[in-house]
Chain A
């Protein structure tokens, strides 16, 4: 006959070692540094959205103009409204890019991994108006 022991809840949190706390601390510091670095490097507002498919720039579009952009021959549709860009359609099963929030600040991006589509906001002087294909 096997003996069963009944455990009660409320043993409390597991005993964390000093190294565990140190590990958590290090991860938080790295995350904070990465966030700050990104925040300070990025200018506050993006003027254009750059659409990349498989690493190749497909087009650059102004955020000040309301429009709908068909990307990659129809796999994704991007909508620009009130200076904000949002993915409104994607043919991939997970629909993660459609659920992602709209972007407006510089270096924000919407990414659709299955279709290899990257939509990123850029400031005008860095992308070059030459790149505009609209």
Chain B
């Protein structure tokens, strides 16, 4: 129990630090709104180390804290929509056991972007954001793949951590 709380804290802290690192990176690839999603790395790793319910809680707390510290009201709303959808999709895909870590992560990246796009449609009340759909799909695919490859390498090296029981 003691170690479980400790790991929980470490995962959350890592996610927050990665959010911070990402807010420092001035990656302007000409596509507004597209980020690497470094903090999602922690979620993907946690997915294989914690129970589903705990990963959902971790993702929500991470978005809330990161939003209050580095973002604003809007980044919390968009972050929550993206994070919750992506975590549920990833849990679902992982349960099928047919996908490897990068595959699960790709689905997470894509669904994260879709969640944000859906909120954007509601906020601006127009479907004109729809032209962004293919861009976000491919962006989610690429970032999801990169994060998935990293997560896969990390998971190989932390086999001694198990918080499932």
- A residues apposed to B, CB below 8 Å: 7, 11, 13-17, 19-20, 23-24, 27-28, 30-32, 34-35, 38, 52, 54-55, 93, 96-97, 99-101, 107-109, 111, 113-114, 116, 118, 120
Instruction: Give Cα A30–Cα B100 distance, bound, in whole angstroms.
Output: 21
Chain A contacts for B3, CB-based, 8 A: none
Contact residues of B: prevailing secondary structure: helix
Q: Is B24 positioned at the interface, with any CB of A under 8 Å from its CB?
A: no
Chain B contacts for A11, CB-based, 8 A: 153, 156
Chain B contacts for A20, CB-based, 8 A: 99-100, 102-103, 106
Q: Is B33 positioned at the interface, with any CB of A under 8 Å from its CB?
A: yes
Nearest CB of A to B132, in Å: 9
Instruction: Give Cα A114–Cα B33 distance, bound, in whole angstroms.
Output: 13
B134 and A34 within 8 A (CB): yes
Contact residues of A: prevailing secondary structure: mixed
Instruction: Give Cα A24–Cα B125 distance, bound, in whole angstroms.
Output: 30
Interface residue count for B (Cβ, 8 Å)? 37
Given contacts A27-B141, A31-B137, A113-B123, contact A118 B128 (CB under 8 A): yes
B103 and A108 within 8 A (CB): no
A55, A93, A109: the one contacting B131 at CB < 8 Å is A109
Chain B contacts for A120, CB-based, 8 A: 126, 128
Nearest CB of B to A73, in Å: 18
A-B contact list, 29 entries, CB within 8 Å:
A11-B156, A14-B100, A16-B102, A17-B99, A19-B99, A20-B99, A20-B103, A23-B103, A23-B106, A23-B107, A24-B106, A27-B137, A27-B140, A28-B138, A31-B133, A31-B137, A35-B134, A54-B124, A96-B32, A99-B28, A107-B131, A109-B128, A109-B129, A109-B131, A111-B129, A114-B74, A118-B124, A118-B128, A120-B126
Given contacts A99-B28, A101-B30, contact A27 B128 (CB under 8 A): no
A14 and B102 within 8 A (CB): yes
Chain A contacts for B138, CB-based, 8 A: 27-28, 31
Extra inter-chain contacts (6) besides given A27-B140, A38-B134, CB under 8 Å: A24-B145, A34-B133, A34-B137, A35-B134, A55-B125, A99-B32
